[in-house]
Amino acid sequence: MEQIMSLVKERDPEQREFHQAVQEVVETVKPVLDRNMEYRQQAVLKRITEPERVIMFRVPWMDDDGQVHVNRGFRVEMNSALGPYKGGLRFHPSVNLGIIKFLAFEQVFKNSLTTLSMGGGKGGSDFNPKGKSDAEVMRFCQAFMAELYRHIGPNTDVPAGDIGVGAREIGYLFGMYKKLSNEFTGVLTGKSLNWGGSLIRPEATGYGTVYFAAEMLTTRNENFENKTCLVSGSGNVAQFTTEKILELGGKVLTISDSSGYIYDEQGIDREKLEYIQQLKNVRRGRIQEFVEKYPGAVYTAVDPALDYNPLWAHKADCAMPCATQNEINKKDSSNLIQGGVTLISEGANMPCTPEAVDILIDQGVLYAPGKAANAGGVAVSGLEMAQNSMRLSWPREEVDNRLKQIMKSIHRTCLDASSEYGMGQNYLVGANIAGFTKVVNAMLDQGLV
């Protein structure tokens, strides 16, 4: 184990998020390697931690004032043992190769858990769509796709959206791909409904996060009725996590963005959620405007210099981090436990630091890692791919039911794998082992490629 981590760090010393993701998997799959010597002999850890292909390119584009800008574009095609590369595109100033590699690595195991035929990949750019006009975003997306199109395809690599890439960006990207390739195919998921998208796709990650949490609660003979929940983020995942919690009888107390968060003791009901969706999706405003409309809520600006986030210090039963990686640290996890939280379901990718995860599991918190809990998004992306291949569109109820069954299956798979290796109800270990073994077995079947 130490050897592989030394190799990963030596090759890419600056990629801290990637190191973190690899370390978590390597540590938890050690019992699998001990039981299967062929895995060691075939150097599967060295192979699975090295991307099959990394594409990095410049993206020159012009703003509305005629000024030329140059951003970096990335696509990491991590592993295709189970199917075409599948994973989102992220447009955010924080994007760099290390973050894209960590996301692609996580995506491999997440996609494996869905039971669908999808490999793992991820991409994006350090472009920031915030504050840009529609015309500027369109020009950037067209420039980005002018390079990316030659590396993707419905049977090769099928990107989707992620942070900063919503329906608007997917539309511009798809239009450029169609023009350049001269074909209308299901090369992107997250498309609009009237040209190949799937019902439930926008809701899928948030809904799936809550469906997984509901399955965890059933192991303790509980449900979401009257449960209070802390939710971070205010984008797609946070919005639909909130919606599904409300539908199941729970109460959401918080919503946040990069500047701070709002705490509403009365709960964010459907009317307030509709306002948030209008605020963030249409007006692209800041979450602090919520208190102007609903003065009963309290807005708190979060000081980056603090060694904790006060959002996680409120009393609640459940927490759903839906913002970004490493948003819950060691102190935050202690505050969550002191506040009475007994369940955490990750809507974001790797939102808890390793130290935070250790504390949560040691204290008996029901903890669902993102690769299991937020797999609903890519699962419905896979269903969108299937519908595109058949030129069909399934009803909302059918897609939602398929999503629910997939999340139930992932929950059962994680529990079974954890139990098989004597780890009890440890979803982190179960998710990593189940995802890892399926991918590795497929790699071995396909030879040394």
Which amino acid, 424?
A: G
Count of beta carbons in the 10 Å neighbourhood of residue 207:
24
- Rounded Cα gap, residues 154 and 171, in angstroms: 16
Strand partners, 61: 69
| Amino acid occupying residue 359 | I
Amino acid at site 445? D
**Residue from 86, 101, 122, 272 carrying the catalytic annotation:** 122
Q: Which helix or strand (DSSP H or E) is residue 445 part of?
A: helix 427-445
3-state secondary structure 355-372: HHHHHHHHCCCEEECHHH
Residues 133-151: b if buried by 16+ CB within 10 A, e if exposed: eeebbbbbbbbbbbebbeb
Amino acid at 374: N
Q: How far is CA 164 from CA 84, 146, 288, 291, in A?
A: 23, 19, 20, 24
Retrieve residue 225's tokens.
């009725």
Indicate the burial class of 357 (C-beta count within 10 angstroms; 0-12, 13-18, 19 or more). Answer: buried
Geometric angle at alpha carbon 230, from 375 and 273, rounded to 5°:
85
Burial of 437 (0-12, 13-18, 19+ CB in 10 A): middle
Catalytic (active site) residue 178: no
- Whether residue 241 contacts residue 323, with contact meaning beta carbons closer than 8 Å, is answered with no
| Catalytic residue set | 122
